[in-house]
Amino acid sequence: MFNVMRLNRNVRSIRRTRVIIGVFVSYGFDQLLESFNLPSPFRKRRLFRREQRELSGVDPARRMRLAFEELGPTFIKLGQLLSTRPDLIPRSFADEFATLQDRVPPVPFDEIRRQLQQELGGTPETLFARFDPEPLAAASIAQVHRARLKSGEEVAVKIRRPDVVGIVETDIDILSAMAGWGERHLPVGSSYDLSGVVREFARTIRREMDLTREGRTIERFRNNAGGDPTLHFPKIYPELTSSGVLTLEYIRGIKITDLDALRGAGLDCRLIAARGADIFLRQVVHHGLFHGDPHPGNIFVLPGNVICLLDFGMVGHLEGATRQFIFLLLLALLNKSPDDLIETLDEAGVLSEAATKPALRRDLAEFIDSYVDIPLRDLQVGRLLSEFVDIITLHRIRLDPVLLLLVKALIGVEGLGRRLDPEFDMMIHIRPFIQAAEKEKGAPGEVMRDLGSYLQSLFRLSRNLPRDLKEIITRINRGTVKIDLEHRGLDRLITELDKASNRLSSSLIIAALLVGSAIIVTTDKGPKLFGFPFLAFAGYVVAGIFGLWLVIAIFRSGKL
């Protein structure tokens, strides 16, 4: 049956692909047309003529960041994700993507009215006692309006942009295709799971677009806090919340980086810095769920030095083993032991086959030596972790993306702490958690739990092994065993061989036409045209056309 929806989606994808490539070309990334070995309709630069930009003196990282901002929500969010993945992109690009601005012109109020009608079944006038048509903030995924409930409570209404889901889904389709092309054709494509990165990104942005999920996440953080009086979370109004609308308490607070306002309100900046660090570390260690984007715009301070966290679109989830791994890494770093670092990485199973342990140990030893004379109170944990990530990335060691998100969040928390309190020492707050993790590793209860888990895994293996062996032997006897081999990086070679063989075949056909026509001329038989045998004349004409086409194709390829 003919699928009209699929056709419309394919048409949108083609149009959007042209826009995406056009933006990249306009920012000086013409090589993308060659690198990705795009289908022939997308290789012609004249299809992507756009406004000329002044790019002299602008480094590639900044040009890429500007291109992402112009391409809209999907690429802004992709850049923000990549800013936490220096294992995939150069550090200069990761740092530049961290500055991506997620500010766009607001959606007209008439569209907001229709969106509320569709999501909540009512207009702003029927749902609220007052609804401000001017947004408080407008981002690529949603915009926020201030309103008042009929009960008199002030609220902030976060409304998803009406067209964003279709745009994002189309872009995800295109990014998936580009990731596949990149893995097949780019020199480094086989070294990175580009398709996996796109899948991870797709899962992240789809969760962020589901505002109901964000509301549930806030409630989960609130439950984890257990009534902590130093921490506040905005109240959620589920009756006015859907996948496209989130209604929550309007927070009257002071931005955490507004030091003058904090001091003017009689608040203690040093205490706020200490509380913020402890709150973040408790989220990581005790709950395994932490705020992944603690930048100043997402943190407000309320009376009594109470901290309020906002915007839970980006959060990190840590399993127990992963949390233990993190603090063992930190312990090895603080003990300045490269051997302990390598052992921790090895036990976690993250060392790649390409990693050479002697070379890795040498680089880690040099890295640690640079911190030997620095007192712990002067040590910047964020800088230490950032340099460590650069080293393991150099050796192609792949860490869980959530660990890299944690490193970025920890750097942000430490930066805010030092901004609030010049004498802020992150190590004072981290060391108790590390010591607790070290004790926990050797505690009898933890050892027994590890042993029990190991024995349980061994039991499952021994129970399933006979069945699995029988199935393998049965398949061998039936001749149904299949071995799948995957080649990487050969598509470009195959394409070039196809071109060469086609040109060689065309040359042979042209030569045969010329020889055959020459023989017919010598026989001087058959009907004539312009004094030549007709067949010979036709042969020369066809050979000439084929020859001219072949020469033009060779000149266009630039390979004589």
Model pLDDT, residue 109: 93
pTM across the whole model: 0.71
pLDDT at 6: 46
pLDDT above 50: residue 7 = no
**Residues forming a β-bridge with 309:** 299
Q: Which residues of 354-385 are buried (b: 16+ CB within 10 A; e: fewer)?
A: ebeeeebeebbeebbeebeeeeeeebbbbebb
- pLDDT value of residue 483: 67
Give me 5's structure tokens: 């929806």
Please report, rounded to a whole number, the percentage of residues in the chain having pLDDT higher than 70.
Answer: 79
Average of per-residue pLDDT values in the chain: 80
| Catalytic residue set | 293
Helix residue spans in 320-443 (DSSP H): 320-334, 338-347, 357-369, 381-394, 401-420, 426-442
Higher pLDDT, 349 or 98: 98
**476 pLDDT above the threshold of 60:** yes
Give the angle subtended at the CA of 494 by the CAs of 491 and 497, to the nearest 5°: 150
Of residues 388 and 500, the one with the higher pLDDT is: 388
Query: What does R_g of the chain's alpha carbons equal in angstroms?
Result: 31
Write the DSSP assignment of 104-140 as a string of letters.
-PPPPHHHHHHHHHHHHSS-HHHH-SEE-SS-SEE-S
Identify which has the larger pLDDT, 299 or 35: 299
Query: pLDDT (tens digit, 9 = 90+) per residue, 21-74?
Result: 888 888 888 766 665 555 555 555 444 455 556 666 788 888 899 889 888 889
Predicted confidence band at 191 (pLDDT cuts at 50, 70, 90)? low
How far is Cα 149 from Cα 185, in angstroms, rounded to an integer? 56
Return the DSSP state at 252.
-
More confident residue, 170 or 192: 170
> How many alpha carbons lie under 13 Å from residue 65 in its C-beta half-sphere?
21
The predicted structure's pLDDT at residue 1: 37
Give the pLDDT confidence of 331-386 residue by residue, as tens digits. Answer: 777 777 778 888 877 776 667 655 567 888 888 888 887 776 666 666 777 778 88
pLDDT at 5 over 50: no
Q: Does residue 260 surpass a pLDDT of 80? A: yes
**pLDDT at 296 exceeding the cut of 60:** yes
Give the pairing of strands 231-232 and 306-309.
parallel
pLDDT at 229: 92
Selected residue with higher pLDDT from 89 and 245: 245
Residues 424-436 have pLDDT tens digits of 988 888 888 777 7
Average pLDDT over residues 10-15: 74
The one-letter amino acid code at 127 reads L
Q: Where are the domains of the chain?
A: 103-250, 255-439, 443-477, 491-557
